[in-house]
């Protein structure tokens, strides 16, 4: 069974640039969630993708966007980077149906983004 | 909106001893899930234990157990026979069971140190 993998593991960008982070979900999972974890904080929910559609969004501006592909992998895109976007970005996958959600997530190791 | 509070930023325990991490939450829902996740220095978040709100019996996973007090909205984690590998950040998390809201609400975490 392949776990959740994320790339890149570390990256440095400058303010105003754009970044794309990638995630491959665990085999058998159909849902990908993205979280932002600032230093010393708990993860904050950005959004979730289910069957290639956004299925819930946290309190993040529209410059945070995402995609889910037919193989259930996902991308997180952040435009017009700001200094406060510096954080660990975690991807998590799960198996979700329209009627059942156990809430249990399987996390990747994250992508550490530094914005200068 | 639901909130999760962990009032202990750091805790320390002697190897082989028992430690309890505290968590309180606020919600108006009657059905939900509660979790404890562990984040070791390698950063990958790992599920420790899960509790369904409608179950009165406290969840147990080997050396890990919870004290779930629904009326008090309290969900503490007890680690027995602490081991050096238990050293990590521990996050309490809340999830609604609805199929369209598969995100977790995390507390700020408790850093657990284990002394040999």
pLDDT tens-digit series, residues B64-89: 999 999 999 999 999 999 999 999 99
What residues does A114 pair with on adjacent strands? A12
pLDDT band, very low/low/confident/very high, at A94 (cuts 50, 70, 90): confident
The overall average pLDDT reported for chain B is: 92
**In chain B, which residue's Cα lies nearest the Cα of A45?**
B103
Residue B102, pLDDT > 70, answer no
The DSSP 8-state label assigned to residue B41 in this structure reads T
Question: Nearest-CA neighbor of A32 among B61, B102, B109, B4?
Answer: B102
Q: What is the mean pLDDT of residues A89-97?
A: 86
Q: Exposed, middle or buried, B70 (CB in 10 Å: 0-12/13-18/19+)?
A: middle
Is B41 in the A-facing interface, judged by CB distances under 8 Å? no
pLDDT at B100 over 70: no
Q: Are the beta carbons of B110 and B21 closer than 8 angstroms?
A: yes
Confidence band of A104 (pLDDT split at 50, 70, 90):
confident
Q: Is any Cβ of chain A less than 8 angstroms from the Cβ of B62?
A: no
For B45, which of A90, A97, A99 is closest by C-beta distance? Answer: A90
pLDDT at residue A68 tops 80: yes
Of A77, A112, A69, A113, give the one whose Cα is nearest residue A93.
A69
What residue in B sits closest to A40 (Cα-Cα)?
B108
A50 touches B at CB < 8 Å = yes
Which residues are within 8 A (CB) of A71 and not within 5 positions of it... i.e. 6 or more apart?
Answer: none
Give contacts of A106 with chain B, Cβ < 8 Å. Answer: 47
pLDDT, tens digit, 9 for 90 and up, residues A10-21: 999 999 999 999
Residue A45 exposed, middle or buried by CB count within 10 Å (0-12, 13-18, 19+): buried
Tell me the average pLDDT of chain A.
91
According to DSSP, the β-strands at A10-13 and A111-115 are: parallel
Query: HSE (CB half, 13 Å, CA atoms) of A79?
Result: 6
Q: Which tens digits make up the pLDDT trace of B23-55?
A: 999 999 888 999 999 999 877 899 999 999 988
Alpha-carbon distance A51 to A42, whole Å? 27
Q: A26 pLDDT exceeds 90?
A: no
Q: Kindly tell me if the per-residue pLDDT of B101 is higher than 80.
A: no
Total residues found in chain B within this entry: 116
Place of tokens 């969630």: A33
pLDDT value at residue A78? 98
Tokens of B104: 């977790």
- The pLDDT-based confidence of B98 (bands split at 50, 70, 90) is low
């Amino acid at each position: 069974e392949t776990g959740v993998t994320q790339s890149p593991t570390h990256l440095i960008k400058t303010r105003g640039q754009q970044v794309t982070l990638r995630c491959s979900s665990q085999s058998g999972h159909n849902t990908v969630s993205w979280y932002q974890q600032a230093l010393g904080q708990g993860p904050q929910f950005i959004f979730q993708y289910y069957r290639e559609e956004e299925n819930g969004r946290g309190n993040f501006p529209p410059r945070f966007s995402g995609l889910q592909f037919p193989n259930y992998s996902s991308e997180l895109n952040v435009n017009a980077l700001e200094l406060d976007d510096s954080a660990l970005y975690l991807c998590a996958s799960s198996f979700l149906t329209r009627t059942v959600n156990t809430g249990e997530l399987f996390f990747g190791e994250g992508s550490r983004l530094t914005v200068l | 909106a639901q909130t999760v509070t962990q009032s202990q930023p750091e805790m320390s325990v002697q190897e082989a001893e028992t430690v309890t991490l505290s968590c309180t939450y606020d919600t108006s829902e009657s059905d939900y899930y509660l979790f404890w996740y562990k984040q070791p220095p390698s950063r990958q978040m790992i599920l420790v234990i899960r509790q369904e709100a409608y179950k009165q019996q406290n969840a147990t996973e080997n050396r890990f157990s919870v004290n779930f007090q629904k009326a008090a909205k309290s969900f503490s984690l007890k680690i027995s026979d602490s081991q050096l590998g238990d050293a990590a950040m521990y996050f309490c998390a809340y999830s609604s069971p609805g199929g369209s809201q598969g995100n977790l609400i995390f507390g700020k975490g408790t850093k657990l140190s284990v002394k040999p």
